[in-house]
């Protein structure tokens, strides 16, 4: 009996060799198309298989670039490169994130005989993936995940605080998906900040941070030049402000004329994190009350983009804050949130007095 079973194993072994040999002989020694090379990239990242990852890359890709791609991509979830009608795109998430970022990238490949490998992955037009433009780490803290360029300011504590501020606001508008981690991108340099936002420096260098959608995923992108100068309370205030935009990004922009609703809610949650900034905003509104006999006008949408006039811009934010502050004082946070949601889509004049709270703020706060 033992002899027969040994023979059986020997036969099976021979059969396996016979089956394997022709397969190996007709299979190419690498990806057979650009799409195939990207599929190898996807599957090797998912499997944590560095050796296979390298088989998708042409030998002309420098070792330092390979190492950066491998290190950066390995920290992400669900990386998926794919061809589109007119180019290439990549889908990706950070650990714990349910939303999926989708960004255009440019992929270069070279085919020799029947083997095609990737020679380059670059930024396309629009925002570039944060992991593509520099070496990054992924930092998970309570309530937030940060993709951080090496050497960028450490904002993990402020991000965690910003996330909990929205959860604790007592406004269900801000807690639609309370467990979704806030996702931030903190580039290390001006140049990578410009690539990640995909916008000209003229539009972005004056900003501390902005919230943008990368396909289905909202991301707070921090301006490293500004963030390096923030005190801890300023960092808390600015990231809490952005966290409101992040949480409401599904709503899109408010209806024309009601930009103050969005900025006012963001300031209402953010300002209490920095006592100096809160006092300065309060003083600005008090001055506007005096200058207008107690009836300041709500800021027009254009005032939020007048970045060349810092004073007008600060007035716009302060008045927006006071308007939402008054709605909360009068109605409580929960009902004020419902009003804000209504104002998001309804022109202010259709809502009567509820949409013009500044005179009431002046009356309640004049002393």
Chain residues in the site for Zn ion (CB under 5 A):
263, 266
Is 323 within 8 Å of 358 (Cβ atoms)?
yes
Residue 206 CB, shortest distance to Zn ion, in Å, is 13
Q: Which residue is nearest to Zn ion (CB)?
A: 266
The packing angle between helices 156-167 and 232-247, to 10°, is: 50
If the CB atoms of residues 118 and 266 are measured against Zn ion, the closer one turns out to be 266
**Between residues 214 and 263, which has the closer beta carbon with respect to Zn ion?**
263
- Residue 304's CB is within 10 A of a number of other CB atoms, namely 17
- Taking the least distance from each CB to Zn ion, the nearer of 257 and 294 is 257
Contact 336, 171 (CB under 8 A): yes
Backbone angles phi, psi at 177, to 5 degrees: -135, 75
Beta strands in the chain, from DSSP E residues, in sequence order: 77-84, 87-93, 101-112, 115-123, 136-141, 144-149, 182-186, 209-214, 217-222
CA separation for the pair 120, 315 (Å, rounded): 47
- A 10 A CB-CB count for 124 gives 17
Alpha carbon distance 324, 338 (integer Å): 12
Closest CB to Zn ion among 263 and 277? 263
- Find the shortest distance in angstroms from Cβ 240 to Zn ion: 11
The nearest distance, CB 239 to Zn ion, in angstroms, is: 11
Q: 146 or 266, CB closer to Zn ion?
A: 266
Pure H helices in 27-113? 34-47, 50-55, 63-73
In whole angstroms, how close is the CB of 221 to Zn ion at the nearest point? 13
Query: Which CB, 52 or 314, lies closer to Zn ion?
Result: 314
Q: Which is nearer to Zn ion, 195 or 209 (CB)?
A: 209
Smallest distance from Zn ion to CB 237, Å: 11
Q: Shortest Cβ distance from residue 258 to Zn ion (Å)?
A: 14
C-alpha closest to that of 94 among 124, 72, 64, 61 = 72
- Through-space distance between the first and last CA atoms of the chain, rounded to whole angstroms: 104
Nearer to Zn ion, 58 or 277 (CB): 277
Instruction: Report how far residue 312's alpha carbon sits from residue 222's, in angstroms, rounded to the nearest whole number.
Output: 23
Q: At its nearest, how many Å lie between Zn ion and the CB of residue 263? A: 5
| Backbone conformation region of residue 347, classed left if phi is above 0, alpha if psi is from -120 to 50, else beta | beta
Find the shortest distance in angstroms from Cβ 317 to Zn ion.
8
């Amino acid at each position: 009996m033992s002899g027969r079973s040994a023979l059986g194993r020997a036969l099976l072994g021979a059969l396996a060799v016979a089956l394997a040999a022709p397969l190996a002989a007709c299979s190419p020694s690498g990806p057979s198309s650009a799409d195939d090379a990207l599929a190898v990239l996807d599957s090797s990242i998912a499997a944590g298989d560095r050796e296979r990852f390298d088989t998708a890359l042409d030998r002309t890709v420098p070792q330092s670039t390979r190492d950066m791609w491998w290190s950066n991509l390995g920290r992400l979830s669900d990386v998926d490169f794919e061809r589109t009608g007119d180019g290439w795109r990549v889908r990706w998430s950070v650990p714990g994130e349910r939303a999926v970022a989708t960004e255009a990238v440019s992929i270069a490949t070279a085919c020799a005989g029947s083997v095609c490998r990737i020679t380059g992955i670059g930024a396309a037009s629009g925002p570039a993936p944060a992991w593509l433009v520099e070496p990054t780490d992924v930092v998970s803290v309570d309530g937030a995940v940060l993709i951080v360029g090496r050497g960028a300011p450490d904002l993990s504590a402020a991000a965690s605080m910003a996330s909990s501020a929205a959860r604790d606001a007592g406004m269900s508008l801000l807690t639609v998906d309370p467990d979704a981690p806030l996702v931030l991108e903190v580039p290390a340099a001006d140049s990578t900040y410009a690539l990640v936002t995909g916008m000209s420096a003229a539009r972005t260098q004056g900003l501390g941070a902005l919230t943008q959608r990368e396909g289905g995923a909202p991301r707070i992108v921090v301006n490293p030049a500004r963030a390096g100068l923030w005190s801890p309370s300023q960092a808390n205030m600015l990231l809490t402000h952005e966290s409101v935009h992040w949480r409401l990004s599904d709503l899109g922009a408010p209806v024309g004329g009601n930009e103050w609703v969005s900025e006012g809610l963001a300031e209402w949650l953010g300002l209490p994190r920095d006592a100096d900034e809160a006092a300065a905003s309060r003083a600005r509104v008090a001055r506007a009350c005096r200058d207008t006999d107690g009836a300041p006008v709500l800021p027009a949408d254009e005032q939020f983009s007048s970045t060349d006039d810092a004073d007008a811009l600060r007035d716009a934010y302060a008045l927006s804050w006071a308007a939402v502050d008054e709605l909360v004082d009068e109605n409580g946070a929960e009902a004020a949130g419902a009003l804000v949601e209504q104002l998001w889509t309804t022109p202010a004049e259709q809502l009567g007095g509820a949409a013009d709270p500044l005179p009431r703020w002046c009356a309640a706060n004049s002393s």
